[in-house]
A and B are shown apart, each in its own frame.
Chain A
Amino acid sequence: MSIKVQNISKSYKNLKAVDSVSFEVKKGELFGLIGPDGAGKTTLFRILTTLLIADEGSAAIMGFDVVRDYKSIRSAVGYMPGKFSLYQDLTVEENLTFFATLFGTTIAENYELIKDIYIQIEPFKNRRAGALSGGMKQKLALCCALIHAPKVLFLDEPTTGVDPISRKEFWEMLKRLQQQDITILVSTPYMDEASLCDRIALIQHGVVLKIDSPENIIKNYDKTIYDVATKNTHSLIHDLKNYPSQYSVYAFGEFVHYTDQENNFDRKELEKYLKDKNHTDIKIKQAQIAIEDVFMDL
């Protein structure tokens, strides 16, 4: 086991940020912590990277206890905080050299590992980090977190505030790193990124709701969801919410996702109901279930 978390709890004054969380991450696994802002993801990361001490429970990274063996952990893991935290007034190369030196290594020594990523920012290596674009900063931060060839990589919301193309590229990079036997724990508030992980933990209000592979989570979802669309989306949501047997209604892209309480739900009846409410262009079809749907139901 690369990461083992057992009943970790942490409170800030009266707020329970992390409540008895347990999970395990296998070696070489890409594990995702999926949850909205304020779910306790960052707190969990800070505990695992030895920056914060948990109130209760224990955690181990590669067999090292996060409290007792924090020194061994610090030299073996890479951490990329959610907020860009490199020196804005140092150049790309200076930042990288700085972190390499702190870990007692050099850029040349682990160049192979970061090559794919570094090559993209190398043309700007004499530019100050503060003058880089969001995507570039992200790549530089990843390089800095990888410069000492860590066995476990912690990425706290690495794609927040990054454009869709850079996000896609970033996940491709993670997949490549995974092939080099690096265990990756990544957190994200984006549900669409969840399906890119090997396994995910859905977390909310400091509690882990579900842990499984994204496929299994979708497969095990027992309800049927329908895409509903009409001309007037706004009143559609309102009307669907007033439908007697409704279970849940929420906007999902261009459609409204509708779930019924009954197993023998008849879409004809719903169509008739909507027609009575003066909706036109009514479309109802079975929807592809996404992680977000599961999350909304939890």
Chain B
Amino acid sequence: MKTILFIVQKEFKQIFRDKNMLKLIFILPILQLLILSNAATFDVKNINITFVDNDQSSDSKNLIESFRASSYFKSTASFFSEKEAVEEMQKGNTDIIVNIPVHFNRDLQKQQKTSVSVTINAIDAATAGIENVYVTQIITTFNSKIQTESTYLSDLTEVQESLLVIPSFWYNKTLNYKTFMVPGILVLLVTMLTLFLSSMNIVKEKELGTLEQINVTPIKKHQFIIGKLFPFWILGLVILTVGLIIAKVVFNVPMLGNMLLVYLFTGVYLLLVLGIGLFISNHTDTQQQAMFIAWFFMVIFILMSGLFTPIESMPKWAQNSTLINPIRYFVEVMRMVMLKGSGFSDIIPQFVIISVYAILMNGLAVCSYKKTT
């Protein structure tokens, strides 16, 4: 026990003496949380829209006006020919072309039926999908307004039946994406930092040759490993705390559930991450190699965590492969506890999986750590 404490003390001394490392540990995550949370949005805003108004009637002007009124669209220019508009899209100056045909006004009034052609730049399929929804919404609203007006004008007696859908969004009433993203990004930062630092740590001693010196001492395997990794467990919790404070103060993310539950889960989760770090450390010879492997896993874990793309929309095999992704569970638990206020009984499945996973991974890592080479 005394030996472990001494190694822990030595590790902390080394961490705090390395000024560059300190900056890396504390300033970068805070910056990342602030920048990423503000930038990584699923909202599509500032869509450049171009109109080709072939009708030049009051109705066509009204339609254009209702696009301009929306905060999502930024109208760039109006053209009289489709050719010019297409050129504009080719240059990348516009994302959507709304083409209003000749006799738009007349057809609408007389036949109650007309068509508007909408061309969307779909290089980014996800954005194009969202843009399509926005455009359709605006046209539908415009349409129902016209219909009411014309109904009134033609003085028809029959009352039109209409179905009105009023959505209500639970757990994130205002659909604030930050509420959704901040806990997820915090998870990434905690995982990334602890994984990188722990995987580089033991391999660093290997690189410097100090490991050889340690190996000829009577120190026990578990003393050394615990002594080396415990500081990073503490560090992970400190980063989590700093992140949670920022989430509350800067982003005002709701924290409905019991925060102790988050800490309990993080405690177990960090054991797993440190186990992975140790495993990487054991199988590499230089810090560079360790860093590279850690990055490789990190990128896969992040992209398949459900943070940026919903797991539900992945193909079946990819969905199954996310079952071994620890970040996935951590993201789920963070969102459940913070946004939904879930209690311990709700997160039992995730908790059990991570615990078993942590035991397995650490077992593997400890077995692969040898004092002889």
Q: Which residues of A contact B (CB under 8 A)?
A: 46, 49-53, 71, 74-75, 77, 79, 81, 83-90, 94, 98-99, 101-104, 144
Contacts and interface: CB of A to CB of B under 8 A. Distances in A.
22 contacts: A50-B372, A51-B215, A52-B372, A74-B216, A74-B217, A81-B209, A81-B212, A83-B209, A84-B209, A85-B208, A85-B210, A85-B212, A87-B14, A87-B210, A89-B13, A89-B14, A98-B6, A102-B218, A103-B218, A104-B3, A104-B218, A144-B213
Contacts of B23: none
A101 B4 CA distance: 10
A49 B218 CA distance: 12
B373 interface: yes
A83 B372 CA distance: 18
A102 B209 contact: no
Contacts of A144: 213
Given A89-B14, A101-B2, A75 B218 contact: yes
B103 interface: no
Interface residues of B, number: 22
B219 interface: yes
A99 B218 contact: no
A87 B6 CA distance: 14
Give the secondary structure class of A's interface.
loop
Contacts of A53: 372
Contacts of B214: 102
Contacts of A71: 218
Across the A-B interface, give the 9 residue pairs with the lowest CB-CB distance, nearest first: A85-B209, A75-B218, A102-B217, A79-B216, A83-B209, A101-B6, A85-B213, A74-B218, A85-B210
A103 B17 CA distance: 25
A51 B212 contact: yes
A46 to B, nearest CB: 7
Given A51-B372, A88-B208, A90-B14, 13 more contacts: A49-B216, A53-B372, A85-B210, A85-B212, A86-B213, A87-B10, A89-B13, A89-B14, A94-B10, A99-B217, A102-B217, A103-B217, A104-B218
Nearest to A74: B218
A43 B212 CA distance: 13
A98 B218 CA distance: 13
Interface in B212-259: 212-219
B158 interface: no
Contact of B373 (A52, A83, A85, A103): A52
A141 to B, nearest CB: 9
A85 B217 CA distance: 13
Nearest to A88: B208
Contacts of B14: 87, 89-90
B337 to A, nearest CB: 39
B373 A46 contact: yes
Contacts of B155: none
A144 B213 CA distance: 10
A99 B210 CA distance: 11
A240 to B, nearest CB: 44
A79 B372 contact: no
B4 to A, nearest CB: 11
B291 to A, nearest CB: 19
A174 to B, nearest CB: 19
Contacts of A84: 209
Contacts of B2: 101
B18 interface: yes
Contact of B216 (A50, A83, A98, A101): A50
A81 B218 contact: no
A53 B372 CA distance: 8
B210 A102 contact: no
Nearest to A154: B216
Contacts of B217: 74-75, 99, 102-103
Contact of A102 (B3, B13, B212): B3
Interface in B168-218: 208-210, 212-218
B13 A94 contact: yes
B17 A89 contact: yes
A88 B14 CA distance: 10
A86 B219 contact: no
A103 B209 CA distance: 18
B295 to A, nearest CB: 25
A51 B373 contact: yes
A90 B213 contact: no
Contacts of B216: 49-51, 74, 77, 79
B213 A81 contact: yes
B19 to A, nearest CB: 11
Contacts of B373: 46, 51-52
B84 to A, nearest CB: 66
A90 B17 CA distance: 9
Nearest to B210: A85
B13 A101 contact: no
A163 to B, nearest CB: 22
Nearest to B5: A101
A101 B208 contact: no
B217 to A, nearest CB: 4
Nearest to A81: B212
A81 B214 CA distance: 11
Contacts of B219: 102
Contacts of A83: 209
A46 B212 CA distance: 9
Nearest to B212: A81
Contacts of A86: 210, 213
B13 A90 contact: yes
